[in-house]
Amino acid sequence: MYRAVTERDASFDGAFYFGVRTTGVFCRPGCGAKSPRRDNVLFFADALAAVRQGFRPCRRCKPLEPTGSTPSWVRELFGLVERAPGRLSSSDLRAAGIHPVRAARWFKEHFGMTFHAYQRARRIGSALRPIQTGSDVSSVALASGFESESGFRAAFERLFGAAPTRVAPAVEPVRVHWIPTPLGPLLAAARSEGLCFLEFVDRRALASQIATLRRRVGALLIPGEHPHLERLRSELARYFEGRLRSFSVPVHAPGTAFQERVWSELQRIQHGETRSYLELARAVGDAKAVRAVAAANGRNRIAIVIPCHRVIGSDGQLVGYAGGVWRKQRLLELERGTGQHE
């Protein structure tokens, strides 16, 4: 994919999209813009995934517009969204000569979502960027055009798929926050049982991991602080400085019985050590279950603290890691004490 980007290979247009961390812009592979450095590039399967993670559509290759002819009023509409300080209402659209119903139909047909849902995704996306740098939720909400923090919370919940009416009010919500690290921001979630989610924000299938978490804990996910998250933040800081070898923050990782066995076995792999999938399969009592063990490893929702990165191929290859193999490598180097003097 990176080669397609550097060669501006338009035959990959539509197959994937890429975002550039330093500019916050995302493009089609064939875009004529200057080649970004590999470590600044993130890849997305679809354009909305890039929008949801805070990337702004490139003005040159217009990655949100389906290839082929895009009606001029749709171009106009994308421009309006990017320029608007807040949410565009139906009367804003009418004032620009765009019929709201027509806009709604076009978005439904091309993105399978309403125009308002698109605007929300775009605004939450841009809201995520300052959250990554540690701004608090209320100032982010105001700066990104939400009238109030509750508006932001509601939009956040919709983005993460919460369905407040279906959740028993007695269930304690899960608090979600962002933790910046040298390897990129982590999305962390906790409630009183413990830390229940920790993933790099650009990991593969982040949305489906969040959906699974919600199903498993049956609770709302709302932005906010929690003592477990505060503890995690300070432990992670020491971990990345090479001064912490094991985490003490409690972990709450409900899964299938098999997944829970694998995840608890993972926690027995010491800092600085690795195991192969086969060794892990033997440890959970079934040497033939290598593939199932690898799948459970991949479904771990608590990166780093449940150290799925310490599992490698039998030949020593790093193989897959949802947060990217480069992160797996950096984590293992850090733990072996070879990463400090780069």
- In the complex, least distance from residue 2 CB atom to Zn ion, rounded to whole angstroms: 15
Active-site pick, 31, 58, 196, 308 = 308
Nearer to Zn ion, 38 or 59 (CB): 59
Q: Which of 4, 20, 27, 289 lies at the binding interface for Zn ion (CB under 5 A)?
A: 27
Judged by CB under 5 A, the stretch of 56-64, 87-95, 123-131, 280-288 that binds Zn ion is 56-64
In contact, 197 and 187? CB cutoff 8 Å: yes
Return the bridge partners of 122, or none.
Answer: none
196 is catalytic: no
- In the complex, least distance from residue 61 CB atom to Zn ion, rounded to whole angstroms: 3
Q: How many residues at the interface with Zn ion, by CB under 5 A?
A: 6
- In the complex, least distance from residue 294 CB atom to Zn ion, rounded to whole angstroms: 36
- In the complex, least distance from residue 26 CB atom to Zn ion, rounded to whole angstroms: 8
Active-site pick, 27, 31, 58, 196 = 27
- In the complex, least distance from residue 209 CB atom to Zn ion, rounded to whole angstroms: 29
Q: Which two tokens stand for residue 127?
A: 């809201």
Nearer to Zn ion, 31 or 174 (CB): 31
DSSP result, 14-63? TTBEEEETTTTEEE-TT--SPPPPGGGEEEESSHHHHHHTTPEEPTTT-T
Nearer to Zn ion, 33 or 237 (CB): 33
Residue type, 16: F
Q: Which of 1, 6, 45, 60 lies at the binding interface for Zn ion (CB under 5 A)?
A: 60
Nearer to Zn ion, 58 or 98 (CB): 58
Rounded distance between C-alpha atoms, residue 207 and residue 220, angstroms: 15
Q: Which two tokens stand for residue 286?
A: 């079934």
- In the complex, least distance from residue 117 CB atom to Zn ion, rounded to whole angstroms: 24
- 3 state DSSP class of 242: coil
In contact, 75 and 65? CB cutoff 8 Å: yes
- What does the chain come to in residues? 342
**Quick one: angle between helices 115-132 and 149-159, nearest 10?**
110
Rounded distance between C-alpha atoms, residue 267 and residue 285, angstroms: 16
Rounded distance between C-alpha atoms, residue 301 and residue 199, angstroms: 7
Judged by CB under 5 A, the stretch of 59-67, 78-86, 269-277, 332-340 that binds Zn ion is 59-67
31 binds Zn ion (CB under 5 A): yes
Rounded distance between C-alpha atoms, residue 297 and residue 294, angstroms: 5
220 binds Zn ion (CB under 5 A): no
The number of beta carbons lying within 10 Å of the beta carbon of residue 184 is 16
31 is catalytic: no
Judged by CB under 5 A, the stretch of 32-40, 102-110, 243-251, 256-264 that binds Zn ion is 32-40
Nearer to Zn ion, 28 or 52 (CB): 28
The gap from C-alpha 334 to its chain's centroid, in whole angstroms, comes to 23
Residue type, 51: V
Label residues 131-165 b or e (16+ Cβ within 10 Å = b).
bbeeeebeebbeebbbeebebbbbbbbbbbebeee
What value, to the nearest 5°, has the Cα angle with vertex 50 and ends 48 and 51? 60
Judged by CB under 5 A, the stretch of 19-27, 143-151, 168-176, 265-273 that binds Zn ion is 19-27
- In the complex, least distance from residue 6 CB atom to Zn ion, rounded to whole angstroms: 14
61 binds Zn ion (CB under 5 A): yes
Q: Which two tokens stand for residue 321?
A: 């890691």
**Quick one: angle between helices 72-83 and 100-111, nearest 10?**
90
Q: Which of 4, 5, 58, 187 lies at the binding interface for Zn ion (CB under 5 A)?
A: 58
Judged by CB under 5 A, the stretch of 22-30, 222-230, 306-314, 315-323 that binds Zn ion is 22-30
Nearer to Zn ion, 14 or 255 (CB): 14
Nearer to Zn ion, 33 or 113 (CB): 33
Q: Return the active site residues.
A: 27, 308
Q: Residues interacting with Zn ion, by CB under 5 A?
A: 27, 31, 33, 58, 60-61
